[in-house]
Amino acid sequence: MELRLLHYFATLAEELHFGRAAQRLCISQPPLSVAIKQLEQELQAQLFERSSKGVRLTAAGEHLLGKARQLLALSHQAAQETRDVAQGTRGHLRLGFVGSSLYRGLPQALAQLQLSHPQVRVDMLEANSAEQILGLQQMRLDVALVYSIQPPDGISSQLVVEEPFVVCLPDHHPLCASESIDLAELRDDRLILFSNLVSPTYHQRIYEMCLAHGFAPEMRHEVRHWLSVISLVSLGQGVALVPAALERVGLPRLVFRPLLGEHPRSEMLAMWRSAPANPLVQALLAHLQQAAQMPDM
């Protein structure tokens, strides 16, 4: 059944007058009569009784009217929801994230997105940068929050947070007494670092920072998550260079100190498919940028 025919039928059923129904539909009476006959032929049922006194519904017409109203309401709802999704006010956003983003404004951004887009559902997947890029390419993710990495073809990117690396020490380390630390002072310490397989960019960046200060770091632990890095530091298994945001984690037995001099910085980027792009991506990016500028973030 065509929705147009059901719409004509429902209007006539409400008016029970061909002239008034045609006027409401902004058509003339003959096309309305033809449409009703077409619907009756398709259903093989008489829907109206016509007489000199007027028009009234048959039992079959009464039954169809309830169903027609449901179908027309569903059609209207589907059309409105489709427009909302296209405009980014409703829908589903699949978000990949690295663990440190939880301390770089992501919770605040998600809270604001929920307020501005209450009809949007966000599904979250924690994964390393390489896994998230693959998720974008395979259309399993709509947006990814990753460490500094070169986006592949077809992937757009935007810098969300840039911040310094700081030294993370166990609270019994002699350098805790210093207000700031020269990187060369860590030459005799074991360095806890991201696995080269998980985040080659970060691994290489920190390794090169140490080389620039005259030493190749002794690396005995290579892990997959920043929380694992600082947890091992708190257990006295070594020291680490971490993004400043991790000072907010609040693990016990840790001390953070800034580095002396100029060094490469830690970057978190948002990445998404250039096409087709989910319109909700830009809404989330706007909230992430606002959260990154908050003084208490």
| All structural domains of the chain | 3-87 (1.10.10.10), 92-159+267-293 (3.40.190.10), 164-265 (3.40.190.10)
pLDDT below 70 — which residues of the chain? 80-82, 84-90, 295-297
Q: How far, in Å, CA of 226 to CA of 166, rounded?
A: 13
| Angle (CA) 216 221 225, round 5° | 115
**What pLDDT sits at residue 204?**
87
**What pLDDT sits at residue 239?**
96
In the 3-class helix/strand/coil scheme, how is 112-123 assigned residue by residue? Answer: HHHHHCCEEEEE
Residue 113 CB neighbour total at 10 angstroms: 20
**What pLDDT sits at residue 90?**
66
Q: How far, in Å, CA of 272 to CA of 269, rounded?
A: 10
**What pLDDT sits at residue 162?**
92
pTM: 0.69
Query: Encoding tokens for residue 131?
Result: 């896994």
Query: Encoding tokens for residue 32?
Result: 């309305």
| Angle (CA) 147 151 154, round 5° | 145
Q: Whose CA is closest to 122, among 165, 91, 86, 150?
A: 91
Q: Mean pLDDT in the chain? A: 89
**What pLDDT sits at residue 80?**
67
How do residues 153-189 score in pLDDT, each as one tens digit?
999 999 999 999 999 999 999 999 999 999 999 999 9
